[in-house]
Structure 1
């Protein structure tokens, strides 16, 4: 019997396994991942940004975890020889309305004790000659990294602490008894005293498989990116984001420098037709039926119908996507938008149609299911793991 079983080899599951073994030396632990490598889904398909936490309400859990996570991520990279770069981020205002939102965001960031500088049009042009705007907020602590490399380093650390990682193993059954949890796969099974499920895009299915009663479902939101040609890798020196619209659920299209030297544009946010289908036109009938039969899906579509139609139009019409970018980077052309693999966000939606933007857990005496770990979960993975470990009663 294992002391702990972790289901899910993304960055949150790996950080949790690592923290458990560090916190409770001598414990036995198995981590089960259905893919043939670690961090294959949301972790490997995000923008690679180490966020500062500027967007979140003062005193919020997301804000606190993000600030702590940014520092912990950079420390982990230094300790493990992983390259990262603190290039800073500019949030660019292009209209009077956005200037007002920028001022409110500036005050929020000050309350969150995040270093941020308000800059005018001239300084913006000096910092970023290819970017146009009325003004901007500069967040110097924002960085970039490869979260896939972080996952590999966490996997090595788990192995060094005698943790057992099983890849290419899909969990088919979870049954809790008084003194253990039984976990089944196709050709083998295990027992553990405690189970933590960090299953991301499959988190609701794992919770239901374990017999939990949940009122939400995961709806996949597809984030489509383009990559700029190598000749335009110097188009920006920082990360460049629009000022977010508080009426919209996502941040909007931005220019992101990548740790490999490239630059991406995106993402948008459209309903995905497959939870794990990254190529264009991916389609999974079972995934579609899952959310189509969930009343909360139709309620959230109706509540966000205007923005959903704009996002869908821009997904189908490349020129519309380009115009979103040209609001603050007017030199971009259609030929600059080269194909790039999409990401898929596991968005938890309640039965009343509300998008869940905070952390959501479900559990029993011996199980804890991470039902929603919203962005910036990659940045915040290490303190999220500390929070998970603190929630678990010692055996």
Structure 2
């Protein structure tokens, strides 16, 4: 199998080729990406039997259900990368899907704000990247226009992305599952995959509730992508190093001080966007997330939790230690913010000074599945490997939710070519 890191192919999303024979595809993972792939299979390959296998008792239990709900417009991603291609296509597909099914979709817009002259080199580079990616409606604005759009924000310059939106990804996931079942597919909850065995040209997926013999396996396992990937294709790298992203919720009247989203200028050496302000479709305002090493891949509580198996897996990976040597200063800063609400807010108050420690409470957390190579490099692009009856999504960080319907079309194209 060879990794797919290049630009996405051109496809006709609505083409429906007649199947040459009835096949069965098993999709491992009940987040938005797994359900998007399953739904795409039922649309593009009628007659294909699709079964989705999810270990939890509900859909969207992990990354899909613990993110900020942002529909990204493509500001940050390297032009020509799979992220850039699929984010642009995925944003339009998610928008149309929400409109079709009466799901929340609010184009509240985003400001990416520079507050210090030292940031202007990175700011100029980001503007070129966003322009090359065709971010719709993008404008560079100064301090007066910043205040017109976000009256309580401060900065010396900003990129305004008016089409950046917010949505409800768990609701989208549930609607995708409904379509899969209406098309004759099965969505099995509380079903943990424990093994995959070759059966001639087919594969037998062993689960806690019974076995399933399929012609093709698609792994969309997010935080467990490396472990499930090894079961189906034997590849040891890359490994998932989980990062915990903690949120603060703004309480009281000050939650109305931000109309849309206010982001910092990111550091291109690091794959996280920095603490920012984000409105939620329910009307709330969140600050975050930060990015601290997670010792539990599925630890979403207000306080960190230790899972010995997960912690040992991270610490045993040589790539983690090589990464840590490169980024330890950033790590120390993030840990300091995690431990102290006041320290956390110091970064946020550079952009909206009026919101202070008395105006926020600790909320839950998300955990990001970050693929790390053995040499310590952090995989920045989506990583999808395919061949021999297996397609494995090995790295699908943000903007994977935004891109989910486009990633699904890309995956089904690869299954058809296998």
User: Normalising to structure 1: TM-score of the pair?
Assistant: 0.97
* Shift, 1:316, TM fit: 1.0
Matching residue within 338, 345, 350 for 2:373 = 350
* Higher alpha-carbon deviation: 8-17 or 182-191: 182-191
Give 2:123's aligned residue: 102
Give 1:47's aligned residue: 68
Give 1:20's aligned residue: 41
Give 1:92's aligned residue: 113
**Kept in 1: contact 2:23–2:47 (CA 8 A):** no
Matches within 5 A, 1:213-292: 213-279=235-301, 280-292=303-315
**Kept in 1: contact 2:252–2:359 (CA 8 A):** no
* Shift, 1:215, TM fit: 2.1
Q: State the distance in 1 between where 2:163 and 2:83 align.
A: 17
Q: State the distance in 1 between where 2:387 and 2:417 align.
A: 14
Gaps of 5+ in 2: 1-21
Aligned with 1:35: secondary structure? Answer: coil
CA displacement, residues 332-372 of structure 1 (integer Å, 9 cap, x when unaligned): 11122212110000001111111111122234411111111
**Kept in 2: contact 1:2–1:191 (CA 8 A):** no
**Kept in 1: contact 2:38–2:50 (CA 8 A):** yes
Q: State the distance in 1 between where 2:133 and 2:233 align.
A: 39
Structure 2 CA distance for partners of 1:394 and 1:103, relative to 1, 3 Å: closer
Give 1:369's aligned residue: 392
**Kept in 1: contact 2:226–2:237 (CA 8 A):** no
Aligned with 2:193: secondary structure? Answer: coil
Structure 2 CA distance for partners of 1:213 and 1:127, relative to 1, 3 Å: closer
User: Normalising to structure 2: TM-score of the pair?
Assistant: 0.92
- What RMSD in Å do the two structures reach over aligned CA positions? 1.4
Gaps of 5+ in 1: none
* Shift, 1:2, TM fit: 5.9
* Shift, 1:99, TM fit: 2.8
Q: Residue 295 in 1 paired to residue 318 in 2? A: yes
Q: State the distance in 2 between where 1:251 and 1:238 align.
A: 16
Q: Residue 112 in 1 paired to residue 133 in 2? A: yes
Matching residue within 114, 117, 124 for 2:146 = 124
* Shift, 1:166, TM fit: 0.3
* Shift, 1:289, TM fit: 0.7
Structure 2 CA distance for partners of 1:123 and 1:393, relative to 1, 3 Å: closer
Give 1:73's aligned residue: 94
